[in-house]
Structure 1
């Protein structure tokens, strides 16, 4: 803005005049842009609310489009003795289960050794399950040395210990090496063979004092220089009084189709056997429809508010073709029927989804239960289609995606309005520069005028003074 001394020559309020002229240009423009900005912001907010409601409705139908949610199985009967889990392969029915034994890890204990006593030289090989490893002892190694080598190595060749832990228990008699298998069950029983430096691999002298091998079918060939603290033991259950099942662990996977049983405690002679029950669970259908109905009714209420018109006022999207279009497509989708593989057809209304005269949905649970009980496979086919493709859920998702995708109808509307809104900022900047230019031009014009008036006033005063001083000029008396 040009610096000026306003009104010195003319006496006019130049600043006030310039401000008034600039504001006369600025006010209608600003008002127009503010109205346009408010309209665009409201449109974006309304379209965003509509998209969120449509996305929620789309999500509510997704659960009904997942095959894994159908015909689940519920198992009951978990107690102090067993725990249960089941999947959809389990067939409804009841079972009686008795826990005869729990799985147990194999534990062996050596004879007593003095703390600094050499245990003998040679090679000791320990096996448990599929794992076998060997370690070499020198003539000076103690029981503690052997413990450390079992737990940490070194081992011969590429051997590694994945199956046994070694500890030392010190009693009044001395130190005892205790070996425990990491896995339970008879298959993981510990076997120890020795190549003793004294040449006798099974006697009770030297390193062979730690030999333990009962793998031979003939008990006469067993070597038991270690004491068995806990026998390697399988878990065992009896189903329905006659069917016996064993397991290396306390878990019995799919011993009954689709049912996993975990043994926790052995049944005593006075304990009642555990009673297992498997039932079919189709609750996902009712839960899914209720969620869908709730989301649809929320969308309906939003649509009514956005599109309302009348004496009470008009909604933000009153008469909007996009709003009318999506609600019309939804109503058609809700009433559509799906032809099934047996030649019959199903629709939401046949599954108990009802609409009142205002379009609000509700669920007739009794009608739904009748359809599920009559043939749950056909109900599943209605939502998923044959081979889990082409059902109501998929067609509904495709319809919703047309509106809710990142390049869908609603988002395109939002993006278009946002582009227009962003353009208003550019208009404001351009107009601000225009007003600065106008203000500078007006100040220049008025300052020039003021200077000219000042010059004319100065000339007038000079001429008047000269005339007053001319001879023969008679001054008027005051």
Structure 2
């Protein structure tokens, strides 16, 4: 039990004894006729005298258990933050990161798993785009007839039923947009000086994503059948073309369905989208209109900046764990306060394990590599177990000795993976922290049961004492009255009673 808990128990016991002395004086006063007993105070004092020590001990134990649980919670949080922060160092992802830089505009890229450092010439002929079609002009409220419009995009289609409720351009546009089977065609109305135009736009880029419209079962035709249009995808890397159903009411293309066309290192390639993932292994190129007609150099290089940031973050998170453990085990000879886990074997096991990992080497014999070899060492002053990073040495290691860094943080037995594995062992269900918490929670449950039993005993004892001392108080009051009556009759010290007076 902590010194604070011991002090609390002693204080409770002392207070109970003081109350008991006061109650004893109440009995003496009542028995000598000076006053009646204070039964309520007397009962409370006696009950407290019997239960105060046990009550205080249970409360102190409860406080200690809850404080220890909170301490383990703080430790677990610091360990989990460290584990989360080193995930990509542990699995090797961080040391496989690359930067991608283009020499011109309109071309950006990201490099991921599978990328290889190098420079690539990228010549962009055209970017991918989606098709947009504009119909001939009609009156805004002209009823075009009834029938069925079949609208398709890239091989998927929807049927639009056109009747007297929606057979204007705006009605048809609304029906297209509201269709649950819409393959990705957006319809709008654009009004010019010549009238209203139905404009259809495809959601997806690429030469294959052309828009086709056909009509069927048309009646009362005043323009509905002229909304038919056939689009043809280019097979040579060019733009889509269209054929209108009615040459006098021809559709026009305001946007073409086409693939992105480019060369990488002189090798021709294409993509239906402007996010190109298949041209260079592990690299995603993003094209915009500004890249069309340009030839640029795309450089893929090891991303030492991200790697340095990740390693510095690892050191910072590790130091947080060490600092947390130091706080939880703190002790000051000039103060009665101490850390809640001072001398705790579970914390000491965790601390020793982590220190052994970061202070050890990866590999064996003369081939073993330590964190010190890349500029990470234990802080000398004060020697508190935290680490410090020499960023100049780290930068040199990342650029000149990447194999050393890769060895230290390999995904099999690297520093980060060892820490990750150990933390999992510590924090998992059934691990040493969980086992300790389970024992503490079981003790808290036992304390609650004991407190309930003690409360029942206290109530029973209070009732018993209340009855006994109420009866005693009544008896002493009666005796005092009788004594006063006899004194009045027979006299007492320095007084003569009524009978003595009559006798005279």
TM-score relative to the length of structure 1: 0.71
Higher relative contact order (CA 8 A, sep 6+): 1
Q: Is the 8 A contact 2:125 2:260 kept in 1?
A: yes
Structure showing greater radius of gyration is: 1
2:48 to 3, 17, 26: 26
1:190 to 188, 202, 211: 211
Match of 1:289 in 2: 314
Match of 2:22 in 1: none
Per-residue CA distance 1:193-238 (angstroms, 9 max, x = gap): 567989xxxxxx9876445446499xxx966722423252425353
1:315 aligns with 2:338: yes
CA distance in 2, matches of 1:353, 1:285: 17
1:56 aligns with 2:78: yes
**1:45–1:129 CA distance, 2 compared to 1 (3 A):** same
Match of 2:202 in 1: 181
Alignment of 1:424-463 (within 5 A): 424=451, 426-427=453-454, 430-431=457-458, 433-459=460-486, 461-462=488-489
Match of 1:230 in 2: 254
Q: Is the 8 A contact 1:86 1:258 kept in 2?
A: yes
RMSD: 5.0
Match of 2:21 in 1: none
1:279 to 271, 296, 302: 302
**1:228–1:403 CA distance, 2 compared to 1 (3 A):** same
1:94 aligns with 2:94: no
**1:78–1:411 CA distance, 2 compared to 1 (3 A):** farther
Q: Which moved more, 1:250-259 or 1:396-405?
A: 396-405
**1:325–1:456 CA distance, 2 compared to 1 (3 A):** same
Alignment of 1:32-431 (within 5 A): 33-34=55-56, 37-38=59-60, 40-42=62-64, 44-66=66-88, 67=91, 69-70=93-94, 71-77=96-102, 81-113=106-138, 125-133=150-158, 144-145=167-168, 148-149=171-172, 152=175, 160-192=181-213, 209-213=226-230, 215=232, 225=247, 226-240=250-264, 242-267=266-291, 273=296, 275-280=298-303, 281-283=306-308, 285-305=310-330, 308=331, 310=333, 313=336, 315=338, 318-332=342-356, 334-335=358-359, 345=368, 352-354=376-378, 356=380, 358-365=383-390, 366=393, 370=397, 373-381=402-410, 384-385=412-413, 391-401=418-428, 407-413=434-440, 415-416=442-443, 419-420=446-447, 423-424=450-451, 426-427=453-454, 430-431=457-458
2:34 to 12, 19, 26: 12
Match of 1:202 in 2: none
Instruction: Give, in angstroms, the shift of residue 247 of structure 1.
Output: 2.9
Q: Is the 8 A contact 1:99 1:265 kept in 2?
A: no
More helix by percentage? 2
Per-residue CA distance 1:400-428 (angstroms, 9 max, x = gap): 54897774224523552564367346535
Aligned residues: 448
**1:118–1:375 CA distance, 2 compared to 1 (3 A):** same
TM-score relative to the length of structure 2: 0.68
CA distance in 2, matches of 1:385, 1:167: 60
**Gaps (5+ residues) in structure 1?**
1-5, 199-204
